[in-house]
Amino acid sequence: MVIGLTGGIASGKSTAARRFGEWGAHVIDADKLGHRAYLKDSAAYHAVVAAFGDDVVGEDGEIDRRVLGGKVFGNPEKLQQLTDIVWPAIRDMAATEIAGVRAAEPGRVIVLEAAVLIEAGWQDLVDEIWVTVVDREVAIERATARDGSDRTAVEARINAQLTNEARISAADRVIDNSGSAAALEEQLADLWQQIGANA
């Protein structure tokens, strides 16, 4: 079974994925694949440099994500240009990894942790979509505490994302993480049991 785990900023995706990993799931982190997607000399690397210019290449020859981020920030067209390059590359890597794990360990649960699962249209890679949600204020609190960023910056990021409602309507299961860490644990354990895995 392949679970697509998604959710907004600081909603607890990584915390949940880590726990499922401890319980035996093979976890694929789409964010990490994103870092690998345009490493030097990959197809996506060349596409990004062609689209955004040589100045996105840092001294080490790799794409400087901060420079690239600066170019797309607040510019929806540029952002889409970037995601049109990077999302298919991430998708291919995730699909390959899923196929590999399925072949090698047919019974193993796979968790694809992907903040943009729905936006990128990767639903067909997974059997079920699980969504972590937190109230807006809780997300702001946890994100500011974790990242040291200010409230306005976090709110801007939240406003640019899908709403909880949109994610919930796409979800097979919803994990409500506005409560305590213990309350989260309980839900994760329940879900893990429901899918028949051994916690």
Residues lying near ligand ATP in the complex (CB under 6 A): 7, 9-15, 115, 142, 146, 177, 180-181, 184
Least distance between ligand ATP and beta carbon 99 (Å) = 25
The residue (of 13 and 26) whose beta carbon lies closer to ligand ATP is: 13
Conformational region of residue 86, where left means phi above 0, alpha means psi within -120 to 50, and beta covers everything else: alpha
SS3 readout for 72-117? HCCCHHHHHHHHHHHHHHHHHHHHHHHHHHHHHCCCCCEEEECCCH
Residue 30 Cβ vs ligand ATP, minimum distance, rounded to whole Å: 10
Beta carbon of residue 57, minimum distance to ligand ATP (angstroms, whole number): 26
Q: Give least dist CB 116 to ligand ATP, A.
A: 10
Instruction: Return the number of the residue (16 or 109) whose C-beta is nearest ligand ATP.
Output: 16
Give the nearer residue to ligand ATP in terms of CB position, either 54 or 137: 137
Closest CB to ligand ATP among 66 and 146? 146
Please calculate the CA angle 13-154-55 and round it to the nearest 5 degrees. 95
132 close to 188: Cβ distance less than 8 angstroms: no
CB 7 to ligand ATP: min, Å? 5
Nearer to ligand ATP, 9 or 110 (CB): 9
Triad 138, 127, 82: Cα angle to 5°: 65
Tell me how far apart the alpha carbons of residues 84 and 101 are, in angstroms, rounded to a whole number: 26
